[in-house]
Structure 1
Amino acid sequence: MLDLDLPEKDIEILPARKLAARVAGVYIAENDDFETHACDALELDFRGILNDYHAGYTRRSGGREPWYPRGTEMRNERQITVIAPDEMAKVAALMGIAEVRPEWIGANILLDGIPHLSMLPSGTLLFFKGGVTLKVDAQNGPCRIAGRRIAERTGMPDLDAGALLFPKVARRLRGLVVWVEKPGRIEKGEDVSIRVPEQWIYGA
């Protein structure tokens, strides 16, 4: 007999909600390196931030995609990195250093006002007052490359230890990778409306 029970009876579904935030800083990597520098505004099209290191319709697969041979061309869902100041302060404390600057880890947008920013689910929409819309793909997993840059910039005596420490302590604090759903211009100080979709845990 056909089971007509609705899935909502067995799965807890959290309702959608709206949040508010502010752009505390914007950053771009205009050279052949992931490290960014602060600027007043970002210009975006469907490739991401114009002239940024991570811009592009596609990218090459790496260690994050072990299901593809390294270097496979794939959709670029990692166009832009968004982080939060409170999470960076926590990472710095766990690493025993004074600060982790957005530039050192290649961040593009510093977003203030969202508790647990890195836990926003995939599909969350970021509506910027100036007209840009960004869509969350996933959490940004911390890596040793960014960890080593932090170690270099803060003068850690053991660079290899610093490179390994960052992925260990920054898990679920590293921010989000997002892609451009609606292009335009993002300015420092801009207000952002955030729409979190319904959430559930798939446990079949």
Structure 2
Amino acid sequence: MPMQHVLFEDAARKIIPARKLEGTVAGVYRAGGAHFETEAVDELVLGFEGIAGDLHAGWTRRSGSREPWYKRGTEMRNERQLTLVAPSELALVASAMAIRSVEPEWLGANLSLDGIPHLSMLPSGTLIFFESGATLKVDAQNGPCRDAGRQIALRARIDDPQKGELLFPRVAKRLRGLVAWVERPGTIRRGETAKLRIPEQWIY
């Protein structure tokens, strides 16, 4: 039997079935200005381009350091329309940084989801359904960066801002949340239930 076929058969035996989870929308936030920091609002109105009036709304965006395979500034599809975080993971980051808290707004988060274990580890393709019919599709983990670390250092009044700026990317890896895009428009409100459908998973 060809080696490639053996490998794929072995992988097929390790497929993790799709499953469903539920969580609660702990907070919704919007970046209405030129800075990435967000502010709490009562609801988010979503179109196919993202959050109406948000800094990161748009059908496309410009590539940056996260996309080294493109020349910086190349126009590309905007798969980072929304940033999602979890209160439990932010608490772990705050503890690792020896500060009281890390607030979703400081990171430019748009949505805080409570009750989802290991939110940052949800796989690409996970669907998140809201009561209005709004649906988000997870693109990937959101890698922690120094810009967010700098904002945390500022807001938390860390004595050594540069230390805080450098510490955040180290301690927040795989705890920084997710980026997602709008699959179906609608409205997301604080306090409502979010229903997740996690797709089948396997290692290719």
TM-score interval, normalised by the smaller of the two chains: over 0.9
Identify which of 150, 153, 158 aligns with 1:151: 153
Deviation string 1:56-100 (CA, Å, 9 cap, x unpaired) is 000000000000011000000000001000000000000010000
Distance 1:153 1:2 in 2: 58
The aligned residue for residue 17 of structure 1 is 19
Mean CA deviation greater in 97-106 or 156-165: 156-165
Say whether the 8 Å CA contact 1:130–1:190 is kept in structure 2.
no
Distance 2:158 2:87 in 1: 22
The aligned residue for residue 67 of structure 2 is 65
1:200/1:53 CA distance change after superposition, 3 Å: same
Q: Structure 2 regions of 5+ residues with no counterpart?
A: none
The aligned residue for residue 75 of structure 1 is 77
SS state at 1:146 partner: helix
Offset of residue 14 of structure 1: 0.4
Offset of residue 3 of structure 1: 8.7
Structure 1 ranges of 4+ moved more than 2 A: 1-9
Deviation string 1:111-132 (CA, Å, 9 cap, x unpaired) is 0010000000000000111210
The aligned residue for residue 179 of structure 1 is 181
Distance 1:134 1:147 in 2: 26
1:137 aligns with 2:159: no
1:155/1:15 CA distance change after superposition, 3 Å: same
Distance 2:187 2:79 in 1: 19
SS state at 1:193 partner: strand
Q: Structure 1 vs Structure 2: percent identity of aligned residues?
A: 64
1:6/1:61 CA distance change after superposition, 3 Å: same
The aligned residue for residue 53 of structure 1 is 55
Identify which of 166, 169, 173 aligns with 1:167: 169
Code of the aligned partner of 1:164: L
The aligned residue for residue 119 of structure 2 is 117
Distance 1:4 1:135 in 2: 31
State the number of aligned residues.
202
Offset of residue 5 of structure 1: 5.1
The aligned residue for residue 101 of structure 1 is 103
SS state at 1:199 partner: coil
Deviation string 1:8-56 (CA, Å, 9 cap, x unpaired) is 6311110000000110100001000100000100001011000001100
The aligned residue for residue 193 of structure 1 is 195
TM-score, normalised on structure 2? 0.96
The aligned residue for residue 39 of structure 1 is 41
Distance 1:24 1:4 in 2: 46
1:42/1:9 CA distance change after superposition, 3 Å: same
The aligned residue for residue 84 of structure 1 is 86
1:3/1:22 CA distance change after superposition, 3 Å: same
Code of the aligned partner of 1:86: S
SS state at 2:164 partner: helix
Q: Structure 1 regions of 5+ residues with no counterpart?
A: none
SS state at 2:106 partner: helix
